[in-house]
Structure 1
Amino acid sequence: MGNQQLKWFYLIALALLWGSSFILIKRGLVGLSPLQLGSFRVALCAIVLIIIGFKKIKQIKSSQWKWIGISGLIGSLLPTFLFAYAETEIDSAVAAILNSTVPLLALIVGLFFFGTAFIKKQFIGVVVGLVGSIALILAGASLNPDQNYWYGVLPVIASLMYAFNANIIKSYLGGISALGIATGSFVILFFPAMGILVATDFFNEAFLAKEEVQVSLLYVAVLAILGTALAKIIFNRLIQLSDPVFSTSVTYLIPVVALFWGLLDGEEFSLLQLAAGGIILVGVYLSNKKKRLKKKL
């Protein structure tokens, strides 16, 4: 399979993994607090990655460790908490929809901070996808007027962090394997995650004995292994094969998967949301259609 086909395969796989993450977060919050959920997710993911990828850490040069740490902080740890807190007030599908602002933010961050070339067709595609996302948000707001949409700011902040992280990986960590980047990041994140778990009394036997806690831990375990560990490796590889805007355009497909899970879980769904999902897919196509690159002046 060539790189062109491989990057589309990775994009679809990520959409399925991350699109399913939001419903798993929702289920995990039944028995866990946002801090406990995020910390357990990161700690378990770190353990899995250390087991399968510890040898890859030697690829990281001493000068790159600061970027590995920054990548882990803004690409994994903080967004994990932000999305968990957001879903205490807004639907899982809405959180996924707000996450679709990442490609536009990645384009803007790349232009202003990383000297990325401006490509008109790419920008048009991103804007079309963003319009579809806004339509989805408005449709969700009309169906759920009692939800606190101020919490919607949290996924947007997380999306901005993802945008910076994608550009950092592309600019500073290109010589490291996808597994090496993910493992190095989570080795660092393991320690603050464990500290937060201890501080929130997570390891209390009475707490862990609760049935709702045990069920929530099962959902978060699936989330950590598939939606974080495996997805992080795929995402890092996708960035290396393509560019930050293409790789982050997965966030346009995520709401489609998340809305499907939300519908199964009893969250309301309308034809307007279906139409908006179609607009998002058009945006993905336009922003990634083959074009002639123009050098930035």
Structure 2
Amino acid sequence: MHIFLDIEALRSYEEAGDIVKNVRRSITPSIKEGAMLLDIATLVEEEITGSGGRPAFPCTIAINETASHYTPSRDDERSLRRGDLVKVDFGACVHGYVADAAFTVEIGTREQEALIIAAKEALFAGIARIRPGVPVSRVGGAIHDEAASRGFHVLKDLLGHSLGWNCLHGGLTIPPYDDGSDLKIREGDVLAIEPFLTKGSGIISRIGGGNIYQLFRNGEIYAHGPEEKELLGFIHEHYGTFPFAERWLPKPGGLPGLLSSACVKAFPMMVEADGAPVAQAEATVIVEHDGYMIIT
């Protein structure tokens, strides 16, 4: 195997991938009827930390028509109900290198089994096209065609992406359809491939309230008063440009001010506009000289 990653970077990616795989196995039995969303997210994040990594972003738990960008608040009382279609998306960071994965579970019923399987197969179809020199549009085309062959639509606004050192979204984006792009995959790229499928139109509505934030610009000049300045320093020190949750902050009182001054941005929830259930599957791959290696 010959890839354009130094040995320490490769080991860190593989370690992060192992953490993600182990956490998925251990937490899956907890995703069941009556489970509190806050308990699930906390368990995921604590297991990542206990395994020697750190959460690359807040554990996302998106239910039914909500596709992504929801994490429970510190006082969240929601629990899973029979028939819920639950997407769990999380990542582990080791020495700045991230592995990212997601899976879908239906709670107590099997009405959406075909949708869940289609999301997995669309993921595998896209990954199977990955080689150095292959346009990202070909990967997206394979995802779209597999979904369509099973009677489902992809959510075109939700993209796969490159992973880099201390960078969760950077470099290439991987559309879940053939967008005609001639941007090519390179040996050594680390890619998160993540199709979202639905029986609905696949059009996305963006709404507030997802409880996920990210540092947008750092500088005390934008913060007003000691509370905001202290919080801005804490966010910069502990999370840098990685997303974080309000419940991760020891003193979140200054957060509204940082949002209003555009120091911090809030991620909108991504919701299927027709109200149709959404399934997601995601894996992280490293592009090798003659193919790929799935690390999650």
| Pairwise same-fold verdict (TM > 0.5) | no
Identify, as 1 or 2, the structure richer in helix.
1
With CA pairs under 8 Å and 6+ residues apart, which has the higher RCO, 1 or 2? Answer: 1
